[in-house]
Amino acid sequence: MRTVTGGRGTSESWRWPRILVLTMLLLASVTVANFVLHGRSGDHELARSRLSQLDMLLHEESSLQWKTLAKGNTPVRVARELGAIRSQEKKIQEELGVSDALRKQVADYHAVLDTELGLLGVGKTADALALEQQRTEPAFVALAAELDQLGEAEMTAAGVAKNIAGLTLALAMIAVAALIGLLLYRFEREHRIARRVTDEMLHQQSIALETLTEHEALVRHQALHDPLTGLPNRRALSALLAGGGRQALLLVDLDDFKPVNDQLGHAAGDELLVTVARRLHRCVREGDSVVRLGGDEFAVFVQDGDAAAAVHVAERIVDQLGEPFHIAGTTVHIGASVGVAVGADVVDGDLLLREADEAMYRVKQASKGGYAVAGSAHTA
């Protein structure tokens, strides 16, 4: 009996240490597994963040084309900026170890952008716009969808890793009741940190996308407007002339503008151009457009206007611009030579522009300070 009792006593004496050792081993294993799973979750979230960054870089490449057009950057400078962006993209792809298919998709997108940049570099804006709509935009949409899909996969993997970590921790709570509070606190703390990081990342991404959208709108506005007067520019006029319908076009060339520039300086000349733009706005009807073509040359696009309406606007322009201007503390006098061309229901914009230019040139040759109607001997 003593032997048996002694055996039971020995067995009992070793049971709790063994349970304690097993519990500690289980705790250690659960702890290690928890760290590993959270590390994987963090890796997946980081991968998703890098995919989002790659998406933004690809979008920045596209907007860079039109920013180039607005700011007049040289192709060499644009190529340098593209090189820096693509270096970052390559680094991200290498870090993520993306598939060959995705690398090829990015390379194809780069090739389309390079072609578009080449067209912009030689002034073929219309071809570049066509390429943007036909190839560049669809390529970017497909690429963005692929990146979104990969990002969702990374998010799902992160969620799975977190769920497994939670299940493992729950099992540890059952097995190690005494240490559940500490483990739960640790898990909740890590979860809150990860959630704050994720929320901050989404917030920063939202800010970046809003900024990018505003920047793109600004770039497109600058590409179609004169920076000095704020009027639509020659490119915007081309879009107006392509609209079809009955149209009239007036070309307005300022008379005796160069002496003002030479005698009073370019600042005074700029002030005069801004004042001329305001007066031209007072001469046109609601719905008509005043355009600055460059230098001291303006245009007025009269939508749904016949010859009578166009002549009426021309007369008002000649009268208004013939009035004295108070510029740079002095009074200056200029005038305006206006050429008028009226189109039919189907308008050739280039032809309308040439006819208005020829009519304006007739006024310049005659006496300045008047208007002439294309296809008519009338000059006033």
What are 9-57's pLDDT values in tens digits?
A: 555 555 556 666 767 777 777 778 777 877 877 888 887 887 787 778 7
Say if CB 63 and CB 140 are below 8 A apart. Answer: no
For the chain, the first-to-last Cα distance in angstroms comes to 137
Higher pLDDT, 297 or 111: 297
| DSSP H or E run through 325 | strand 325-327
Strand, helix or coil for residue 64: helix
Strand, helix or coil for residue 291: strand
Say if CB 372 and CB 340 are below 8 A apart. Answer: yes
Kindly indicate the confidence band of residue 189, based on its pLDDT and cuts at 50, 70 and 90: confident
Say if CB 17 and CB 170 are below 8 A apart. Answer: no
State the residue for tokens 């460059």.
294
Residue type, 42: G
Catalytic residue, chosen from 127, 296, 306, 348, is 296
State the residue for tokens 């050429």.
339
* pLDDT over 90 at 193, yes or no: no
Question: Per-residue pLDDT tens for 101-140?
Answer: 888 888 888 887 778 777 777 777 777 778 777 887 787 7
Question: Per-residue pLDDT tens for 58-115?
Answer: 777 767 666 665 555 566 677 777 778 878 878 888 888 878 888 888 888 888 777 8
The per-residue pLDDT for 140 is: 79
255: left (phi over 0), alpha (psi -120 to 50) or beta: beta
Is 348 a residue of the active site? Answer: no
**Lowest-pLDDT range of 77-86, 299-308, 328-337:** 77-86
Kindly indicate the confidence band of residue 183, based on its pLDDT and cuts at 50, 70 and 90: low
Strand, helix or coil for residue 367: coil
Of the candidates 58, 147, 138, 137, the one whose C-alpha atom is nearest the C-alpha of residue 101 is 147
Q: Calculate the alpha carbon distances from 138 to 141, 250, 287 in Å.
A: 5, 39, 35
Neighbours of 290 (CB within 10 A): 23
The per-residue pLDDT for 284 is: 92
Please give the average per-residue pLDDT across 195-219, as a whole number.
79
Say if CB 344 and CB 260 are below 8 A apart. Answer: no
Kindly indicate the confidence band of residue 268, based on its pLDDT and cuts at 50, 70 and 90: very high
Kindly indicate the confidence band of residue 152, based on its pLDDT and cuts at 50, 70 and 90: confident
Please give the average per-residue pLDDT across 217-221, as a whole number.
74
Of the candidates 265, 314, 261, the one whose C-alpha atom is nearest the C-alpha of residue 285 is 314
The per-residue pLDDT for 76 is: 65
Give the start-to-end residue ranges of the domains of the chain: 2-223, 234-373
d(CA 115, CA 108): 11
d(CA 144, CA 370): 56
The per-residue pLDDT for 88 is: 84
Residues in Cβ contact with 251 at an 8 Å cutoff, skipping those fewer than 6 apart: 293, 297, 298, 299, 338, 339, 341, 353, 356, 357, 359, 360
Residue type, 340: V
**At the fourth CATH level, which superfamily is domain 234-373?**
Reverse transcriptase/Diguanylate cyclase domain (3.30.70.270)
Torsion angles phi and psi, residue 290, rounded to 5: -100, 130
* pLDDT over 70 at 178, yes or no: no
